[in-house]
């Protein structure tokens, strides 16, 4: 039930803004977005299959800006069991969704924001993780080639920790300070570099903090189709002894913009 409520809340935040002027037709649509897909399947001495997909939506009306981002990753590969037999099984699977709404203040550089995030991961120490944050941000820098946004605010985080041989499944909640930054730079007319960073810093030192960074380069193939190379780093400060703190992901995907 908690998971259903979290997902419903994630979807409701941007949709409340979308609905206000959905019936108004404009020459230039206020709603834009993109969808991406990457597939890799190997056969021969080993079998493996990777699927990465997702989409993002952006709606802008007056002083309001709503963003919705969804990502899904699944990997399958050959794994030997204790008897030496090989099985083609899932070795990584996760999905996450982020919703943020900004309200621009006077001067057009500063804004107030509300952010909701949820992630479900089958192969780390947590069944799921979620957070809410609200605060202040600023469009710090902008010219024809580059832009920098950053925001910060207090928030609340909830981690559902997986059961182990000695500890039952349990929930850890914490107050956090969330900071985010987005940097965009056009390398030329057809190539763009994007860098994102987010930190969910737990106020108490013995609680889990979450850090994430993604670097990507997008190359335009045709007007609506792009090729994207990305590298993502996820870091949790408090995990099980048999689990790594850092997860990385390298991906190549096709992106369709609309």
Instruction: Inform me whether the pLDDT recorded for 175 exceeds 60.
Output: yes
**What is the pTM for the complete model shown?**
0.83
Which pLDDT does position 27 carry in this prediction?
Answer: 58
Instruction: Inform me whether the pLDDT recorded for 213 exceeds 50.
Output: yes
The overall average pLDDT reported for the chain is 88
Residues 6+ apart with CB under 8 A from 195: 181, 182, 183, 213, 214, 215, 216
Instruction: Inform me whether the pLDDT recorded for 24 exceeds 80.
Output: no
Instruction: Inform me whether the pLDDT recorded for 15 exceeds 90.
Output: no
Instruction: Inform me whether the pLDDT recorded for 20 exceeds 60.
Output: no
Which pLDDT does position 45 carry in this prediction?
Answer: 66
Q: Can you list the pairs that 132-140 forms with residues at least 24 positions away whose Cβ atoms lie under 8 Å?
A: 132/156, 133/176, 133/178, 133/200, 135/178, 136/110, 136/111, 136/112, 137/102, 137/110, 137/111, 137/112, 137/113, 137/180, 138/109, 138/110, 138/111, 139/108, 139/109, 139/110, 139/111, 140/109
Which pLDDT does position 22 carry in this prediction?
Answer: 46
Instruction: Inform me whether the pLDDT recorded for 242 exceeds 90.
Output: no
CA distance 202 to 40: 37
Instruction: Inform me whether the pLDDT recorded for 21 exceeds 70.
Output: no
CA nearest 232: which of 219, 217, 216, 252? 216
Which pLDDT does position 200 carry in this prediction?
Answer: 97
CA distance 117 to 134: 12
pLDDT 10s digits, 96-121: 999 999 999 988 899 999 999 999 99
Which pLDDT does position 237 carry in this prediction?
Answer: 94
pLDDT 10s digits, 83-102: 878 888 888 899 999 999 99
Which pLDDT does position 167 carry in this prediction?
Answer: 86
pLDDT 10s digits, 147-161: 999 999 999 999 999
The two three-digit tokens of residue 97, written as one number: 């969704």
């Amino acid at each position: 039930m908690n998971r259903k409520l979290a997902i419903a809340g994630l979807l409701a935040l941007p949709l409340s803004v979308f609905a206000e002027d959905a019936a108004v037709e404009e020459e230039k649509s206020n709603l834009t977005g993109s969808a991406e897909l990457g597939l890799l399947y190997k056969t021969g001495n080993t079998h493996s299959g990777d699927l990465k997909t997702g989409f993002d939506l952006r709606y802008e009306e007056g002083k309001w800006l709503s963003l919705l981002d969804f990502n899904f990753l699944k990997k399958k590969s050959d794994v030997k069991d204790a008897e030496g037999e090989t099985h083609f099984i899932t070795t990584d699977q996760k999905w996450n969704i982020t919703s943020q709404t900004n309200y621009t203040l006077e001067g057009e550089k500063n804004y107030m924001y509300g952010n909701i995030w949820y992630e479900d991961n089958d192969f780390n120490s947590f069944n799921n993780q979620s957070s809410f944050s609200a605060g202040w941000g600023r469009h710090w820098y902008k010219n024809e080639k580059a832009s920098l946004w950053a925001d910060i605010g207090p928030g609340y985080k909830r981690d559902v920790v997986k059961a182990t041989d000695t500890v039952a499944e349990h929930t850890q909640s914490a107050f956090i300070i969330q900071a985010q930054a987005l940097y965009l730079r056009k390398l030329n007319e057809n190539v763009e570099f994007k860098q994102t960073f987010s930190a969910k810093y737990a106020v108490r030192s013995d609680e889990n903090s979450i850090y994430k960074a993604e670097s990507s380069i997008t190359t335009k193939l045709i007007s609506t189709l792009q090729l994207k190379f990305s590298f993502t780093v996820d870091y949790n400060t408090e995990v099980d002894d048999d689990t790594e703190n850092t997860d990385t992901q390298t991906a190549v995907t096709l992106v369709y913009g609309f």
